[in-house]
Structure 1
Amino acid sequence: MSDLVEHADNMQDHWWWRPGWRVGRHFHACHFTMSPHTELVKLAQLYQQALRPFSGLDLIPTPWLHLTMQGVGFLDVLSEDQVADLEHAIRQRLARVPTPIVTFHRPVVRREAVYLPATPSEPIASVRNQVRAAIAEVLGQDHVELAPGQVGAYRPHVSVAYSNSTQAAGPIVDAVTQVDAPAVTIVLDHVGLIEFHRDNRMYEWTRDVQVPIGH
């Protein structure tokens, strides 16, 4: 899996309503929540400072920094028993997976977000594969493939800002390129089973159950 991603030439609004989404609807997912990782938060904030002049970007507050891994489904189509069974299956599988150690450094400007790629990607992909296997076991293989947001190649990353308009990417690329920031390496020893909404032009979770990885 290649970790190399090129900058986009232009950006577009991230907040278009994807299929199934509407105001007030909550979603269940398995993502890494990043606010406990102080050094990563500081790195994100350095780049966000450079991005503040751009009104076309929504900077992500520290509590909502995350590394997207695997969507599960909308809460109104999952029963409490299914959620409980899925949590049990994920806990069992992730106890046997090596704990990812990954590095973040330079951001990439993409069509809908400015994000920090996680390298190497393979340790996180291994965790994701086990989560997907647990979803297939509890909810069925079709549920894995049809989960919203699973289209395209998987590139683990932490977004620092979302685009809220159509705009040229060049000035944004120039701004983050001028930031002098050190690389940050962190240990991802827990992953969150989260429930979130996007009512306020941000992903905000109302539940975050931390599941240990590798122990």
Structure 2
Amino acid sequence: MKNHWAREEPWPPGRRLWALYVTCGSTPPLVAHATAFQESLSGMRGLDLVEPRWLHMTVLGVAFVDEVDQRGMTRLLDRASTLVAAVPPIDMVAAAPRARTDAVWMSVSTTPSIGPLREDLAETVRTCLGREPHALPLPRTGFQPHISIAYANADPPRAQEVDERLGAVDLPPTPFRASHLSLLRLRREDARWSWDGEERIPFGGSAMP
């Protein structure tokens, strides 16, 4: 594995990025599934485990907060809300995690597929902000729905060692439902992805508390 945090792009402390996520910290079945596998990695060097409240599925990067104006973001939120409202709540299934290039993550299948919505949201970014969506890290094969439970740091373990520990956990894939998409201000600090200013956008037929 290699260091997830060693990236060429400058991202100083305090800088925020608008992003679209499925946030998962308030989804008990998914949190329990992730935690069981994280416990098998406890004490292993070279991994930064993701706290339950920061569990997420990345959908799309948007733009750094300091590079766009609020008027454009208001237009984007309005159009995104219309797009998301046209999609029913998405049923998801999280598989067992495996060590990848720079993280440990669970593949997620989605019904309906979230891919078409992602493409529509990317076009909305281009229309409302006049720019390409910010490119957040993706698997080498391109966009693939997934949820990370740990990131490799400067002293990464061998992938085989990680997978041996994960393989000792006998759990079936875990189903859960996404009732909303979130527009949020993402930050990369203290060896973790975290956020503030979360604006939840309900899928069609979902009620937000």
- 1:179: which partner in 2? 169
**1:148 correspondence with 2:145:** no
Q: CA deviation at 1:81?
A: 0.9
Deviation, 1:70, is 0.1
1:123-162 to structure 2, matched below 5 A, reads: 123-140=113-130, 142-144=131-133, 147-149=134-136, 152=140, 153-162=142-151
Which residue of the partner structure matches residue 44 of structure 2?
A: 54
Match of 1:193 in 2: 183
Structure 2 counterpart SS, 1:143: coil
Q: How many residues align?
A: 202
Change (3 A) 1:36 1:186: same
Runs of 5+ consecutive residues of structure 2 not aligned to the other structure: none
CA contact (8 A) 1:30 1:69 kept: yes
The answer on 1:41 being equivalent to 2:31 is yes
Q: CA RMSD in A?
A: 1.7
Is the contact made by 1:32 and 1:191 (CA closer than 8 Å) also made in structure 2? yes
The alpha-carbon deviation at position 34 of structure 1 amounts to: 0.4
Describe the shift of the 1:106–1:170 C-alpha distance in structure 2 as closer, same or farther (beyond 3 A).
Answer: same
Residues 103-142 of structure 1 aligned to structure 2 (within 5 Å): 103-120=93-110, 123-140=113-130, 142=131
C-alpha separation in 2, matches of 1:198 and 1:77: 17
In structure 1, the gaps of 5 or more residues are 1-10
Q: TM-score, normalised by structure 2?
A: 0.90
Instruction: State whether structure 2 residue 86 is matched by structure 1 residue 74.
Output: no
Please say if 1:28 is aligned against 2:18: yes
Please give the TM-score of this superposition, normalised by the length of structure 1: 0.88
Q: How many Å separate the matches in 1 of 2:156 and 2:50? A: 18
SS in 2 for 1:119: strand
| Cα distance in 2, alignment partners of residues 214 and 99 from structure 1 | 6
SS of 1:186's equivalent? strand
Which of 197, 200, 204 does residue 210 from structure 1 map onto? 200
Task: Describe the superposition over 1:28-51 as per-residue Cα deviations: whole angstroms up to 9, x where unpaired.
Answer: 100111011110000000000001
Q: Distance in 1 between matches of 2:119 and 2:58?
A: 13
**Cα drift, residue 109 of structure 1:** 1.0
Runs of 4+ in 1 over 2 A off after TM superposition: none
Which has the larger displacement, 164-173 or 71-80?
164-173
From the superposition, tell whether residues 13 and 150 of structure 1 become closer, same or farther in structure 2 (CA, over 3 Å).
closer
Alignment match, 1:3: none
Q: Note the alpha carbon deviations across 1:59-107, whole angstroms, 9 max, x for none.
A: 0001111001100011100111111111111001111123321101211
- Equivalent in 6, 31, 34 of residue 16 of structure 1: 6
**Percent same amino acid at aligned positions?**
26
Matched to 1:163, the amino acid is A
Q: Give the Å deviation of 1:203.
A: 0.9
Q: Which amino acid aligns with 1:101?
A: D
Residue of structure 2 equivalent to 1:5: none
